[in-house]
Structure 1
Amino acid sequence: MLKHFLFLVLVNTVHCQENVLDVAKKFGANKLVEFLQDVELSSVLKGKGPFTIFAPTDKGFNDLPGADLEKLTKDKALLKQVLSFHAASGLKMSNDLKNDEVLPSLDDPEQIRINIYDQAVYATGCKVILPDKTASNGVVHMLNKVIYPVPTDNVVTFASTTPELSTLVYAVIRGNLQKTLAEGPFTVFAPNNAAFQKLPPGKLSDLLSNETALVDLLTYHVVPGTFYSGGLSDGMEVPTVQKSDVRISINGGVVKVNDATVSEADISVTNGVIHVIDTVLTPAS
């Protein structure tokens, strides 16, 4: 009994001497620690803290598209911004985190959005696969992938700089919804230009000349709260700002919203998330 007690004391003493970088490396975040050293952030995270680190595994970095990883390794300023977005000041255990709360990152004012789906924790859309790994100066939550790119635009600003969403942006302006969509948090199912081209002849021009009908249609594409892919499930019905529900179906990895297919998922923005869809959603009314 005494030997067992002394063993536990020894283990806890060693564990308490490990800072967040030691713990992150211990659980498979070698690349993260290496990159932190490259941009001279490691000295900060070895400090008193406390810090909450969302640490991508080495696989998370390896799973980035080759061009993105190469861009990060060549651009130290961008790499530092991305890495800073994975760390927050203060101690946040998984039980302390709340759905749709935002934590100021080390690169404040950029913020890490927390979501809780079926008790699983997500940080800006990335799943926490090993939570609550404590260190002498904070806690590490291991992520399945890298939070990249870092969201710096809200829904409207992002859409305004994305050519394939230009028709949607024009419709939002005609519906005077810019200020509304700058609030949130929202999940936006964003029809691309090709989706609007599939509408019956004259339908789009009719909508653009009828603000009430246009707002009704556009708000049917907006869901209060943030639903990344990890928060969507087959058969799920989600209430929209328009007050009617949209139905989610998932089959073979293909996600559909009513009859529309998600062509690009999980685009993080500062006030939520965007999923690009290939068909305009039409409310039943």
Structure 2
Amino acid sequence: MLRCVLAVCAVAAVYGQTDNLVQLATKIGATDLVKVVTQAGLADTLANKGPFTVFAPSNEAFARVPKRIIEELERNKTLLTDLLLYHVTNGKVLSTQLKNGQLAPSLFEKHDLRFNIYNEGKLITAEGSPVALADQQASNGVIHLLNKVIFPIPEGSVVDFVSRDPFVSTLLKAVVAANLVKTLEGGPFTVFAPTNEAFNRLPPGALDKLLANVTALAEVLTYHVVKGTVYAEGLTNGERVATVEGQDLSVRKMGPERVIINNAMVERADISVTNGVIHVINNVLIPPPKK
């Protein structure tokens, strides 16, 4: 059971439980969420039905969403509705009821939310987005304020993602050659996925040699895989993370948006898939020789 050690829990009952979810969201400063909920025609549902648990992006979270995405959401009511439903679950779920790696169905059909608990319970994330203010209880549910807007996960697993994304097609080729497709359908895993350009940076002929040596290739690829789900917020500066290959990766964090794994920069973080999370990196990680 998660202890309520978060600073966010200290103010859990400030507003009491007489306000409905929409009224409470307004009081705690999630006014941009209330605006888009109203635009999507969901305000009446969140005000009068439930109980619901709402993972509510703060105004600052909405401000960080690229303008082109905001414009698309404004044009496409269906897309906006799906996004908002992804932030809501049925029932009243307090932070003390969440477990690391737990999945819960959102109101966006067929898409679950994944929760993680890091730093001895001091950090809770929903799809990698930190909970900034937890357990704000309304008359028809509870709100947890998030630092980031979360987007519905793509359909499928780690392998499905690398099969779809043209920027990691070389990784797919390597996974197939190493006979790791079935393994990466399991999990959950955290995968540091090198781009095609990352593979191109290898010395001349190195990739061909790896593809011809299944054992060596599997060792390199499993050095990119960590058991469990570790989002960028869950990584700490100076940390060492054990890989499936058996040796550790070193983590450097130079700000919330700058994460380095060994000598590789994370270019795209926190890509949720059904069996884990993917971080796209700009270099291939080569395991050191085993003693």
TM-score (norm 1): 0.90
Partner SS, residue 16 of structure 2: helix
Q: Which residue of 2 aligns with 1:64?
A: 65
| Alpha-carbon distance in 2 for matches of 1:207, 1:283 | 13
One-letter code of the match for 1:20?
L
The answer as to 2:269 corresponding to 1:265 is yes
Question: How far did residue 87 of structure 1 move?
Answer: 0.4
One-letter code of the match for 1:187?
T
Q: How does 1:164-243 map to 2 (within 5 A)?
A: 164-243=167-246
* Deviation per residue, 1:160-219 (Å, 9 max, x gap): 222110100111111222222222221111111111111122221121122222111111
| Alpha-carbon distance in 2 for matches of 1:215, 1:44 | 50
Q: Which residue of 2 aligns with 1:44?
A: 45
* Deviation per residue, 1:133-152 (Å, 9 max, x gap): 00111110001121135443
Question: How far did residue 123 of structure 1 move?
Answer: 0.6
Q: Which residue of 1 aligns with 2:4?
A: none
Name structure 1 gaps, 5 residues minimum: 1-11
Q: Which residue of 1 aligns with 2:278?
A: 274
Among 157, 161, 165, the residue aligned to 1:158: 161
Q: How does 1:70-149 map to 2 (within 5 A)?
A: 70-118=71-119, 119-148=122-151
The answer as to 2:259 corresponding to 1:255 is yes
One-letter code of the match for 2:189?
F
Q: Do 1:187 and 1:225's aligned partners in 2 also have CA atoms closer than 8 Å?
A: yes
One-letter code of the match for 2:88?
A
Q: How many aligned positions are there?
A: 273
The farther-off stretch of 243-252 and 91-100 is 243-252
Q: Do 1:29 and 1:57's aligned partners in 2 also have CA atoms closer than 8 Å?
A: yes
Q: Which residue of 1 aligns with 2:29?
A: 28
Q: Which residue of 2 aligns with 1:4?
A: none
Partner SS, residue 25 of structure 2: helix
* Deviation per residue, 1:71-104 (Å, 9 max, x gap): 1111111111110110001211111111111111
One-letter code of the match for 1:246?
L
Runs of 4 or more consecutive aligned structure 1 residues displaced over 4 Å after TM superposition: none
Q: Do 1:85 and 1:150's aligned partners in 2 also have CA atoms closer than 8 Å?
A: no
The farther-off stretch of 261-270 and 202-211 is 261-270
Question: How far did residue 107 of structure 1 move?
Answer: 1.2
| Alpha-carbon distance in 1 for matches of 2:208, 2:146 | 46
* Deviation per residue, 1:204-245 (Å, 9 max, x gap): 112112222211111110111111111111110111111211
| Alpha-carbon distance in 2 for matches of 1:150, 1:203 | 34
Partner SS, residue 193 of structure 2: strand
| Alpha-carbon distance in 1 for matches of 2:18, 2:254 | 47
| Alpha-carbon distance in 1 for matches of 2:243, 2:169 | 22
One-letter code of the match for 2:116?
N
Q: Do 2:153 and 2:271's aligned partners in 1 also have CA atoms closer than 8 Å?
A: no
Q: Do 2:111 and 2:152's aligned partners in 1 also have CA atoms closer than 8 Å?
A: no
Partner SS, residue 15 of structure 1: coil
Partner SS, residue 182 of structure 2: helix
* Deviation per residue, 1:113-155 (Å, 9 max, x gap): 1011222111101111110000111110001121135443422
Name structure 2 gaps, 5 residues minimum: 1-12
Partner SS, residue 173 of structure 1: helix
Q: Do 1:172 and 1:178's aligned partners in 2 also have CA atoms closer than 8 Å?
A: yes
